[in-house]
């Protein structure tokens, strides 16, 4: 068996992409907490997407798959090497060679085809770290929710990597390192926060950022009529917001924890109006926002089970409050 697990955490985190990044960086000797990886990658966002081809509306709380990885590598000066191919054989040869050399590899694939995965829903933006393989199985690091250190058959891994459709990147693999110099996250904090805030405050279309949350508030009261099976579909939407690798509250809990982790690292020589004060204010607003997102998810689930539109009307009101809170938070954080 080939094994590239040296330095890799024993278990996964709450989000797939940051779990994989933690594995690759841990192998290189860099150990950063998951919320810090998420925040330095400017991972927080919001998107509301709906079309006639979708069975249910989609609410996303982060940037698109792999954008976080590219941003983190750029921000920390990491050597990100990405490979993609239309050939399954070439794609396997690329990652097998690296693992044989003791290097863990990040893979983007469709979670639907993984043997161990709990939900049989197609999601081609899932990311895992390949740590080893033998004649029959691949050994991966996935989120704690999915089991952490897990295995899947080589055949299922090949199907997952070959997926087509939304968010797919056929046979994409990537590595981080070797490191050219020690990684210091502190200089990257303010630029990462400001970049995230600017994108949230100035979205290109009305479905993204603070505008997207307000769009969602307008659409939410109609969801009982929009979906085919409310008792099935609305609880599914709520589950995706809270428990589908978001860390709770549509990634707001992760971002709150990132801002909390930043506070002791900032030199606040400017006194009460300095950077730490701005980050603390943003953190408090996102803490409040996270609580409201969890309430929204509960209201959406209950509306689906009860068939009562009043819950969706209440959720719409909370979404407007969330939009105000997060706009204020990002406005404060942009001042860094």
Judge if 192 and 326 occupy the same domain. Answer: yes
- Is residue 66 assigned to a domain? no
Judge if 9 and 112 occupy the same domain. Answer: yes
Q: Are 110 and 122 in contact (CB under 8 A)?
A: yes
- Is residue 142 assigned to a domain? yes
Judge if 269 and 135 occupy the same domain. Answer: no
CB neighbourhood size of 158 (10 A) = 17
Model pTM score:
0.95
Residues of the chain with pLDDT below 50 are: none
Judge if 105 and 156 occupy the same domain. Answer: yes
- Is residue 232 assigned to a domain? yes
**H or E segment and range at residue 196:** helix 186-201
Whether a cis peptide bond, with omega within 30° of 0, leads into 178 is yes
- Is residue 71 assigned to a domain? no
- Is residue 311 assigned to a domain? yes
Structure tokens at 333: 């954080």
Q: Are 323 and 210 in contact (CB under 8 A)?
A: yes
Beta strand segments in 124-268, E: 126-133, 137-141, 149-153, 173-176
- Is residue 117 assigned to a domain? yes
Rounded to whole angstroms, how far apart are CA atoms 23 and 4?
A: 10
pLDDT (0 to 100) of residue 191: 97
CB neighbourhood size of 307 (10 A) = 12
Rounded to whole angstroms, how far apart are CA atoms 111 and 160?
A: 7
Structural domain ending residue among the three candidates 121, 155, 176: 176
Residue 175: CA count within 13 A, CB half-sphere: 20
pLDDT (0 to 100) of residue 195: 98
CATH of the domain at 6: 3.90.70
pLDDT (0 to 100) of residue 268: 63
pLDDT (0 to 100) of residue 165: 84
Judge if 87 and 235 occupy the same domain. Answer: no
Judge if 206 and 281 occupy the same domain. Answer: yes
- Is residue 301 assigned to a domain? yes
pLDDT (0 to 100) of residue 273: 60
Domain that holds residue 292: 186-334
Structural domain ending residue among the three candidates 143, 176, 209: 176
Q: Are 54 and 284 in contact (CB under 8 A)?
A: no
Instruction: Quote the number of domains for the chain.
Output: 2
Judge if 141 and 163 occupy the same domain. Answer: yes
Judge if 305 and 264 occupy the same domain. Answer: yes
Question: Which residue in 48, 125, 17, 87 sits closest to 323, CA to CA?
Answer: 48
**H or E segment and range at residue 182:** none
Judge if 18 and 144 occupy the same domain. Answer: yes
Q: What is the pLDDT of residues 277-333, one digit of tens each?
A: 999 999 999 999 999 999 999 999 999 999 999 999 999 999 999 999 999 999 999
Rounded to whole angstroms, how far apart are CA atoms 221 and 317?
A: 10
What is the three-class DSSP state of 174?
strand
Judge if 268 and 172 occupy the same domain. Answer: no
Judge if 195 and 298 occupy the same domain. Answer: yes
- Is residue 116 assigned to a domain? yes
Judge if 258 and 130 occupy the same domain. Answer: no
pLDDT (0 to 100) of residue 144: 96
Structural domain ending residue among the three candidates 148, 176, 204: 176
């Amino acid at each position: 068996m080939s094994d590239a697990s040296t330095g890799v955490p024993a278990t996964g985190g709450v989000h797939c992409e940051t779990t994989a990044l933690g594995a690759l960086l841990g192998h290189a000797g860099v150990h950063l907490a998951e919320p810090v990886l998420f925040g330095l990658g400017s991972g927080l966002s919001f998107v509301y997407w709906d079309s006639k081809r979708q069975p249910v509306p989609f609410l996303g709380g982060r940037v698109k798959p792999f954008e976080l990885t590219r941003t983190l590598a750029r921000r920390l000066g990491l050597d990100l090497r990405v490979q993609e191919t239309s050939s399954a054989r070439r794609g396997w040869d690329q990652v097998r060679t690296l693992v044989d050399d003791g290097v863990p590899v990040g893979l983007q694939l469709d979670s639907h085809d993984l043997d161990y995965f709990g939900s049989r829903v197609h999601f081609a933006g899932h990311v895992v770290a390949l740590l080893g393989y033998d004649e029959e199985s691949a050994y991966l690091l996935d989120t704690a929710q999915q089991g952490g250190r897990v295995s899947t058959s080589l055949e299922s891994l090949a199907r997952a990597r070959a997926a087509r459709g939304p968010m797919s990147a056929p046979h994409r693999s990537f590595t981080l390192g070797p490191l050219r110099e020690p990684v210091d996250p502190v200089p990257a904090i303010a630029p990462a926060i400001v970049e995230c805030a600017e994108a949230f405050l100035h979205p290109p279309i009305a479905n993204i950022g603070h505008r997207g949350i307000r769009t969602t508030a307008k659409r939410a009261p109609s969801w009982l009529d929009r979906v085919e099976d409310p008792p099935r579909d609305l609880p599914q939407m709520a589950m995706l917001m809270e428990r589908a690798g978001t860390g709770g509250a549509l990634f707001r809990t992760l971002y709150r924890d990132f801002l909390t982790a930043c506070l002791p690292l900032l030199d606040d020589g400017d006194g009460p109006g300095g950077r730490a004060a701005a980050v603390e204010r943003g953190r408090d607003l996102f803490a409040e926002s996270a609580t409201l997102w969890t309430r929204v998810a509960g209201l959406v689930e209950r509306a689906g089970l009860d068939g009562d539109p009043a819950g969706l009307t209440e959720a719409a009101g909370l979404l407007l409050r969330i939009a105000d809170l997060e706009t204020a938070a990002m406005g404060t954080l942009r001042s860094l």
